[in-house]
Amino acid sequence: MTSKSVITPFIISLLIAPLTLTLTMSLSGEAGATTVTRSLFAMTVLVEVLALAQALGARKIFSPSDPGRQAWTLIAASLGVRLVTELRLATLTFNLVPRYAEGASRELFFYVVVLRYLNVLSGLLLILALITMIRAYRSTGLKFELEKRDSFYILLLWAVAAGTFVFRANLGLTNTAGNDQYIAAYRLVSVFIGAFIASLCVVVRRYTLQMGGGAVARVWNMVVIAGIARAASFLVLALLSRWSLVGAQFAEQYAIWIFAGCWLIAALYQQEVLPRVADRLAARTA
């Protein structure tokens, strides 16, 4: 699998998915729209499996002492924990586990409400990975500085989090797992963690650009887009829930589809970078 073999189908999917939703809604109404969203969710889980596999591959190309190996180990761990939460969500989405309601058993409460916070753990692991990369770049002794545009991007990310907080009353309206009063709090925690992750992604991207950019910068460009998509998924959910529940669910899943696809491409880019670097070094010493 190469980045070129993934990018074109991924871009096409970004156009086909909303068109499919529109056509299906016109023919089958909300039931058809729900089917489209669930299908997109199933494909997203598959892409996240591929992203995890490629992240593990990216980890292996670094030497054990290289900070890049530590960072990609944490990234793989983050994607792995997230995949567990997605498989858990699949059992709820496809009715393999009973929907939660107040007064349900402790076991169901733990499975539905508590285990969703594994996604928070996934985010924390990703934060550690990004901090590892930032420290690695700073250890080179080079002077790294953010530009005004980076500060503007970071401000926009926190505006997304703030906007989600303003419309937090809508966050509990759409819930695949059932009706519980805890989902809004979880989504608020997740959106602020997501904004922090995306902000760190912007910092890492700027450092790679100041070191020459090129193929390495492309890796982190994709990570930035993934981080923004994940943070924005909660905002679109909050904004659209009052207007259309099925539309809000699709928009959230569409953003997560972008998140998964960008991580897959980022991992593929990373694996393609080091062989190029090694070839250049070999050519110079020849």
Return the number of other C-beta atoms located less than 10 Å from residue 117's C-beta: 14
What is the count of structural domains for the chain?
1
Q: What is the pLDDT of residue 175?
A: 63
pLDDT tens-digit series, residues 67-96 = 889 999 999 999 999 999 999 999 988 888
- Determine the pLDDT at residue 265: 95
- Cβ atoms 112, 178 nearer than 8 A: yes
- The list of the chain residues with pLDDT below 50 reads 276-286
Per-residue pLDDT at 31:
87
pLDDT digits (tens, 9 = 90+) for 180-198: 677 888 888 888 998 999 8
The model carries a pTM of: 0.87
**CATH number of the domain within which 23 lies:** 1.20.1070
Question: Which pLDDT does position 122 carry in this prediction?
Answer: 94
Give pLDDT, residue 81.
Answer: 95
Residue 86's pLDDT is what?
Answer: 93
Query: Do 14 and 258 contact (CB within 8 A), yes or no?
Result: yes
100: β partners: 178
Q: Which domain holds residue 278?
A: 3-285
